[in-house]
Structure 1
Amino acid sequence: MIKHNVISVVLGGGKGSRLYPLTHQRSKPAVPIAGKYRLVDIPISNCLNSGYNRIFVLTQYNSASLNSHIKNTYNFSVFSKGFVEILAAEQTNEGERWYQGTADAVRHLQRYLQHHDYEHLLILSGDQLYQIDFQEMIEAHIETGAEISVATIPVNAKDATSFGILKSDEAGNITSFIEKPNSSLLPPWESEVNDEMKAVGRVYLASMGIYVFNKSILTQILEESEGVDFGKELLPEAIGRYKIHSYQYPGYWTDIGNIDSFFEANIGLTDDIPQFNLFDRNTIFSRARMLPPSKVSGTTLDNVVIADGCIVAAERIERSVIGIRSRIGVGSVIKTTYMMGSDFYQTLHEIEDARANGFPLVGVGENCYIENAILDKSCCIGDNVRITGGAHLADGDFDTHAIRDGIVVVKKRAILPAGTVIG
């Protein structure tokens, strides 16, 4: 396959307030997913699997853990030109503002890009779940003579209000674009899609927030416009002035924009044949941890994904993701839950000391019942704790947990004493 001259940019996004409390102490790209990865590993892995190994990651909020993850994960041979480099927002002589939007972030990147040889810039979001061969997208971009390409996917009317929606002609050239339209504006924005998509009402072409720009065109657009966001300003302004191509992606893709979508994406990994297939030839790269294999004693498991280094003695676990170094006590039942695991093991001395003083251990204690929940890293849940998420719970934020769309999110390193009941 032809080797293209591409630099990739992963946009870390803003504060990630819709993913709170998971983003209270970390940036969106650093949020753990699937029990052993970080969200940022998904776009980076897609790039590496496509043969593109020059990658910038732009971030500005709570970037310490993300910096550590990138540093400890993506190291290339001294004989390679590859890199994965974090660029956090910074004050310079040219400006003192943080990134104001996606286009503003790339505009600030320009002074770093001028030191690199490239023909195409591939711009990605750091909070999406998908598997795509970017070489195919770049080749389609070149073959169609496009100056800008936008990856698109059909969505239904409910989801369309959360995305940029576009129309294209028979040749795939984008002719109009509207950002996050009100539902009342949707009817004229229907597009021709295949019968399978039409049958499920996915008749609106949504931007996936994945763009390919020719180098000269990107520089020109950023100089011509004062806009700070691609979807809201630069792309609508560019229609009719530049050749913009819609690259329709036929596979699975989801935007991890809020707690509900994050929860569903993780729980979906436990399906018999998940839409996002971890068991694929395309590797998802992440930090290499020297952890022991997981140990399970007397537990009934049904559609469960278990990461490395876990010690599980639960009575039953079903439709759940159990993250690295998780510890689950005897008699506990866990259903439809994402347990992120722990950043460390407690020593035998620390365990004895905690028990002697009546403190819960890191992990889930004995005889607990947990359903419809997300347990953030290194939380301590005592014995006989009951957490029952569901539609009966109102949204709220509390010292140890938050509730979003019926999902109970236990905060990082939170302590729930024995006998606690939530829900």
Structure 2
Amino acid sequence: MTNNKNEPRVLALILGGGKGTRLYPLTKERSKPAVSFGGKYRIVDIPISNCINSGYKKIYLLTQFNSASLHLHITNSYNFDRFSSGFVEILAAEQTLEHSGWYEGTADSVRKGLVHCRSQHPTHYIILSGDQLYRMDLRAFFEAHLKSNADISVATTAVTREAASGFGIMQIDSNNKINSFIEKPAKDMDIESWKIPQESRGALPANKKYLASMGIYIFNTEALEKVLDSSFTDFGKEIIPHAIKQMNVNSYIFDGYWEDIGTIKNFYDANIQLTDINPQFNFYEEDEPIYTHMRNLPPSKINSAQMTATLTSEGCVITDCKIHRSIIGLRSIIENNTVLDGVVMMGADFYETREEKNTNKKKNIPTLGIGRNCHITKAIIDKNARIGNNVRINVDGKKYEDGDHGSFYSADGIIVIRKGAVIPDGTVI
């Protein structure tokens, strides 16, 4: 952005998310945006990178729940040079003389953070979720907002009738103005009149006939101040439906890949899809990189392995293994004769010293990583897990009810090995 005072001044607000119960146990000790993704990234790197790549470098991240690891990641990852006016700063929930409670919802978090945002004198706010997977040219979104003369613009994505029951659905006219909103219409509800007008369809897939809110918004500053001068606590359920009745609210139809990775299944599928030859979300975009913490790790050492359709991060040591369609995270150690198929391995935060390994061996504690002769399929292995030798996970046809099973968690047939879990030699899950 230029320094011309007449130019729009855009401030980006990224919502750090709540308890993230649907992504448990990955969110037991961290917030959703801080969960590892794609081997070396965190989920929050996606919206931050979208902002930076679009030229919007004034970014506040609003946090509250289990935010320590997220704060550390932001501090280590995003430092603009001293000649830039850009920043990525944390706005953590705080007690003041005006309010003493926690954030009560997405809108409430922005309301309580406005006192800090006003010092940037923004003309517009872009509000983003911290736990979605997509690439969007936010500048194009903003230019469409200006062109529409809207007070508020809502990014929307086309969905099928079946999927519509899981989203807030928008009804628009031929000029993309939003006339009505309905929250998660029942599967047997008649919403035929809510179909996307032909004039707005463009090249959208024929089976996707309804518009779902992506939880991404642009507000004129005056409009945001006005809607937050209320008791409403949530943008999707309260602010937007109320604003539609009083303001000019526009739909920006996004036709690219977008995934809300708020459940274990969605998170697992989104990771595994990265291994496709032509993935829907592609990290290999030279002009639009996804930024993250720059680590001084050694290159991965592959002593011998048969690896297909696999992403391997830095600092790994892999010996005589067969790995297929998997994500191997930072500092992963995988010993000989182990087979991984459809595994999301998040890696480790540190390497063990020789002394630590010897001490743990005397206590019959496996070393960090995966031991010898293991066979693991359709699993997520959280950070710093210790899996012993001759361990079998999700390969013997045993079914588990969704939920907590001690050292592991089951969800939709996916086994999640907890962060820091110790799985002894010979364990069968």
TM-score range, shorter-chain basis?
over 0.9
Q: Which residue of structure 1 lines up, in the alignment, with residue 321 of structure 2?
A: 315
Q: Could you say which residue in structure 2 is the equivalent of 1:84?
A: 88
Out of 240, 250, 254, the residue aligned to residue 259 of structure 2 is: 254
Give the AA of the match of 1:364.
Answer: I
1:53-90 Cα distance to aligned partner (Å, 9 max, x none): 11111111111101111111111112211111111112
CA-to-aligned-CA distance 1:322-381 (integer Å, 9 cap, x gap): 000000010000001100000000112322333344321110100000000000001000
| Selected match of 2:290 from 269, 284, 299 | 284
Q: Quote the offset at 1:13 in angstroms.
A: 1.3
TM-score, normalised to structure 1, is 0.96
- Find the partner of 1:231 among 231, 236, 243: 236
Specify the alignment match of 2:337 in structure 1. 331
What residue identity is the alignment partner of 1:381? I
* Counterpart-to-counterpart distance in 2, 1:129 and 1:332: 31
Partner SS for 1:183: coil
Q: Does 1:302 find its partner at 2:308?
A: yes
Separation (CA, whole Å) in 2 of partners of 1:346 and 1:285: 27
Counterpart position of 1:397: 404
CA drift at 1:184 = 2.2
Q: How far is 1:92 from its partner? A: 1.6
Matched, 1:372 2:375: no
Which of 23, 26, 29 is 1:22 aligned to? 26
**Could you tell me how far apart the structure 2 residues matched to 1:373 and 1:105 are?**
34
**1:384-403 Cα distance to aligned partner (Å, 9 max, x none):** 00001779432120221100
- Indicate if the aligned counterparts of 1:391 and 1:406 stay in contact, CA closer than 8 A: no
Residue 161 of structure 1 is aligned with which of 142, 149, 165? 165
| TM-score, structure 2 normalization | 0.95
Structure 1 stretches lacking a partner, 5+ long: none
Most deviating of 2-11 and 16-25: 2-11
CA distance in 2, matches of 1:195, 1:51: 27
Query: Where does structure 1 differ by over 6 angstroms across 4 or more consecutive aligned residues?
Result: none
> Is contact 2:371–2:390 with CA below 8 Å preserved after alignment?
yes
Answering whether residue 264 of structure 2 is matched by residue 266 of structure 1, we say no
Contact 2:301-2:318 at 8 Å conserved across structures? yes
Specify the alignment match of 2:425 in structure 1: 418
Residues 392, 313 of structure 1: CA spacing in aligned structure 2 closer, same or farther, 3 A cutoff?
A: same
CA distance in 2, matches of 1:400, 1:279: 35
Q: CA deviation at 1:180?
A: 2.0
- How far apart in 2 are the matches of 1:181 and 1:92? 39
Describe how 1:380-395 pairs up with structure 2 within 5 A: 380-388=386-394, 392-395=399-402
Report the Cα distance in structure 2 between the residues aligned to 1:181 and 1:260, rounded to whole angstroms. Answer: 23
Offset of 1:50 from its aligned partner? 0.5
Q: Compute the displacement of 1:15 (Å).
A: 0.3
Equivalent pair of 2:9/2:123 in contact (CA under 8 Å): yes
Tell me the distance in 1 between the aligned counterparts of 2:63 and 2:292.
18
RMSD, aligned α-carbons:
1.6
Conserved in 2, the CA contact under 8 Å of 1:366 and 1:384? yes
CA distance in 1, matches of 2:162, 2:418: 30
Q: Kindly state the Cα deviation for residue 208 of structure 1 after the two structures are TM-superposed.
A: 0.5
Cα distance in structure 1, aligned partners of 2:28 and 2:232: 29
Within the candidate set 83, 108, 113, 2:112 is matched to 108
Amino acid at match of 1:156: T
Give the deviation of 1:98 after TM superposition. Answer: 1.1
**1:391 touches 1:405 (CA, 8 Å); kept in 2?**
no
Which residue is 2:361 aligned to?
355
Q: Aligned residues: percent identity?
A: 49
Amino acid corresponding to residue 100 of structure 2 in structure 1: E
Q: Tell me the distance in 1 between the aligned counterparts of 2:54 and 2:291.
A: 13
- Residue 41 of structure 1: aligned partner: 45
* Residue in 2 that maps onto 1:130: 134
Relative to structure 1, is the Cα distance of residues 314 and 88 closer, same or farther in structure 2, using a 3 angstrom cutoff?
A: farther
Residue 118 (structure 1) shift: 1.2
Structure 2 gaps of 5+ residues are none
Quick check: 1:143 aligned with 2:147?
yes
The answer on whether the counterparts of 2:174 and 2:197 sit within 8 Å (CA) in structure 1 is no
Does the 8 Å contact 1:157/1:186 carry over to 2?
A: no
1:71 aligns with 2:75: yes
Distance 2:205 2:79 in 1: 44
Which amino acid in the other structure matches residue 379 of structure 1? A
Once structures 1 and 2 are overlaid, which stretch shifts more, 177-186 or 93-102? 177-186
